[in-house]
Amino acid sequence: NGNHWGYSKENGPDVWHKNYPVALGSRQSPIDIPRQVSHDPSLGPIVLDYDHCTSINISNNGHSVVVNFDDTDDRSVIHGGPLENPYRLKQFHFHWGGKGCDGSEHTVAGNSYASELHLVHWNAVKYQSFDQAATAPDGLAVVGIFLETGDDHRWLHTITDAMYMVKYKGSVTDFKGFNPKCLLPSNLHFWTYLGSLTTPPLHESVTWILLKEPIVVSEKQLGKFRLVLFTGEEEDQRLRMENNFRTPQPLKGRRIRSSN
């Protein structure tokens, strides 16, 4: 319908609060990570157990390109770090900028990265479904990984090649056997804080775990992200999917903790 949210002037982050008042809430994401963050020695390492993970498909939901996983059991979970329970991997997706412009959501000491990868997990110990977890304060855990430009990433081509198949909003194609472990940086040092989904419905249900070390992808690979469209095949407008990021939100007194 007309008032569907997006990233344009008319339906973008500055007006999301009209349909989603929580946009003005007390634990919104993303945020800027300041230069000095309190180090919490009680924070154990984050553990990503993705060895038996099962990707299902890759899709274009009109806001991002999403790789969906079979989350009917605990075969791919993260635990440790700030988490009290294991959280089940449901999907991952990206946010990026326009040609030559940065597109990360979180910033570090005011600096943006070219793109940001979100690995979305839900607390299947305490909640019966993702939807239920998505509205609970400890329901979701999203691992954020920054992408900076440089050499080609040796595994990202499997995703960028599949993006050709999901050019239009609403398209989906098989994407089996992909293990996102290949998208992790060499070390898992992180910042963590309590926040929200960065898109509507903006639920304040996310424990954010942001990896400090970015991964490196090439400008050419990022360019393939921009071949994807916000719009569907049947629409006469063809809007290139780019700048699908929300800018940093007020910290409102929240504590950010740093692992080792």
Active-site entry in 63, 121, 153, 203 = 63
Nearer to Zn ion, 118 or 212 (CB): 118
The nearer residue to ligand LYQ, 197 or 222, going by C-beta atoms, is: 197
Would you say 198 or 259 has its CB closer to ligand LYQ? 198
Residue 190 CB contacts under 8 Å (≥ 6 apart), including other chains: 46, 81, 209, 210, 211, 212, 258, 259
93-122 residues near Zn ion, rule: CB under 5 A: 118
Residue 153 interacts, among ligand LYQ, Zn ion, none and using kind-specific CB cut-offs from 5 to 8 Å, with: none
- List interacting residues with ligand LYQ (CB under 6 A): 61, 63, 118, 120, 131, 134, 142, 197-199, 201, 203
Q: Please tell me whether residue 153 binds Zn ion under the rule CB under 5 A.
A: no
Q: Nearer Cβ to ligand LYQ, position 63 or 212?
A: 63
CB of 35 to ligand LYQ, least distance (A): 24
63: annotated active-site residue: yes
Q: Which of 204, 202, 191, 192 has its CA nearest to residue 26?
A: 204
Residue with CB nearest Zn ion? 118
Q: How many residues bind Zn ion (CB under 5 A)?
A: 1
Catalytic sites, residue numbers = 63
Residues that bind Zn ion (CB under 5 A): 118
